[in-house]
Amino acid sequence: MVNEIIGGTHLPSGMIEIDLELCKDCELCISVCPHKLIELSDRLNQKGYRFAQFIEKNVKKEVKKCSGCALCAIVCPEIAIEVYRG
């Protein structure tokens, strides 16, 4: 049987969910994501803000995946971001 983890290294992975109705378009999460995986939507939430959205599925392969670092959730003043680590 072949080990999937070689040399004791294991790349972390994660994903986030953003509550679009809590978002107030401050862009802090966008500025801190090391892999540029968050952008503003073209649409508005019910309060009239353009909301942030997770775009990992849309980015090119050379862009890294979400590491679950949680920087985006930590800086969000509206506590609109949940981070899941796999």
Q: Which of residues 17-36 bind ligand SF4 (CB under 6 A)?
A: 18, 23-29, 32-35
Q: Which two tokens stand for residue 20?
A: 């679009």
Q: What is the DSSP letter of 77?
A: T
- Given a contact cutoff of 8 angstroms between Cβ atoms, the answer to whether 43 and 27 are in contact is no
Interaction between residue 53 and ligand SF4 (CB under 6 A):
no
Is residue 8 helix, strand or coil? coil
**Interface residue with ligand SF4, options 10, 11, 13, 16 (CB under 6 A):** 16
Nearest CB to ligand SF4, comparing residues 4 and 79 = 79
Count the site residues for ligand SF4 by CB under 6 A: 30
Q: How far apart are the first and last CA of the chain?
A: 23
- Given a contact cutoff of 8 angstroms between Cβ atoms, the answer to whether 84 and 21 are in contact is no
**Interface residue with ligand SF4, options 41, 45, 55, 69 (CB under 6 A):** 69
Nearest CB to ligand SF4, comparing residues 34 and 46 = 34
